Structures are given as C-alpha cells and as structure tokens.
Structure 1
Amino acid sequence: MSTITFTAPRVTAPRPTLRLTRRGRIVVFVAACLIVMATALMLGTSSVATDSAGGDPTRTEMIRVDHGQTLWGIAAQIADDGEVREMVTTIKKLNALDSSVLMAGQVLHIPAS
C-alpha cells in the first residue's frame, strides 16, 4: 500500500498596498487642506473690487462675456452718454486687464448701476 501525503497550500495575509507613517499622514492632510483652501479662493466671488491703485472700494456686479461682446459695447451699456471711454478705463482697472480683448465666458467686474 502506498501513502499519499497532502500538504495544505500556504495562506499568507495580503500585504497592505499603502502604508503611511505619521509624517506621511500629516503631509497628506496638509496637502488636502491647501487644495480645499485654493479651491475656495478660486470659486469665491466678491461684490466689492478696488482698482490697482488701492483707492476706495467700488460696488461691482459680475457679468459673463458672451460671444461677440466687446469691452466698448459693455461699457456703452452701463455708462452715461459721453462717458464710455472713462467706463472702459474703469472696467480695465477693476479687472486688471492689459488690453481690451475679451474672451467668451470670461467673468468681468463692472461698476454696479
């Protein structure tokens, strides 16, 4: 008669895929906090803006530029007669624009009416 031996397969505990030290957990927590704060700053909107000279705060409204709109056209809609040029300058200062070129979807601060 022959003897049959049976060996059970080895069962090993699965290794964790990611293991962080205390320092690693702190770094991940601080990075997550910084991402949340940066996102909040980007999405935050202000209803008061100042020009680059740091003058008096000006009440503003936010508008989204539509396709085909120009800075002159936007300024003409909100300015009194004959003050369009000054309104263009004001809008450029409020939004820190280097030129009068606008992109569709761009958000602008304009003086509140």
Structure 2
Amino acid sequence: MSSTALAPLPRRSPVRLPAAALPARAARPARRGTAPARRAAARPPVRAAHGPAAPARLRLTRRGRLALTCTAAGVLTGVVLAVAGAAGGPAAAERAPGAGPRVVTVLPGQTLSGIAAELAPGQDWREVAADIAEANGLATQALLAGQRLLLPGER
C-alpha cells in the first residue's frame, strides 16, 4: 500500500444573493423562555394627551362575576338578618309575656331544671320547674327523651 496524503479541498466563500432574490421564510415560533422580537413598525402609534382619555372598562371573567354575585348575596343576607334580629322577628313573638302555654319536646340529656332555667333565666329555676311539673302532672323531675312538656306562660 502506498501512503498518499489527501490534499484538503479549497474553501469557497459563501455566495450572497440580494434580499429580493431570496424566497420569503415562514416565521419561526418563538423559543421557550425568550422574549419576542420587537420591531419599531409593530408598535402602536403614541397618542397625544390633548383630551381626557376614555376610562378603561372593567372586564370580569366568569369566575369574577360569580365571586362578585356571591359576595353581594352574602352581604345582602347579613343585612337582612341584622335588621330582622334588631326588630325581634318571629322569635320575639314566641317569647312575649302572656303568650300562653307552649309545647317542648325533651331532647336526650335535657333535664327539667335545665329547661326551667332556659324558659325563665331571670327567675329561680326551682319555682319554674315546679310549675312545669304541676302543668304536666309529673310526680318526679325525671324526663325521657322525646317526652312532650307543656310549658306554662311566663309570669
């Protein structure tokens, strides 16, 4: 075998064509993490500040409208409950003095003394419990869950 060295090929300079002769290239999508190229021609024209600018219109998304509606409904409900509580509402009519007897169903764990204390917080619970026992014909203060008691009107 003979050893012959290959001669390197001569380098050619690249041929530059005029821009008008090149075909138009499609725009490449922007790479991730890079800012888009800015061109002076793509900027909107600057407006002169001669008059008052139109106020920007508030644009709400669907979620924003839902949040605004729920907030308004919650505030309205709070106002209605506050006004109803201040006026007394239906609860005040039930506790009015001289309203007559009421019927209460005994819940598990309730006692006659506890019911008497709730019925007349400003009075001695023993007197009120005796009145309840008398109105219902109870021999003892033992109560059963689900038992219905007739509560006498307030004194």
Higher fraction of strand: 1
Q: Please indicate the TM-score interval, normalised by the length of the shorter structure.
A: 0.3 to 0.5
TM-score normalized by the length of structure 1: 0.46
Of structures 1 and 2, the one with the larger relative CO (CA 8 A, separation 6+) is 1
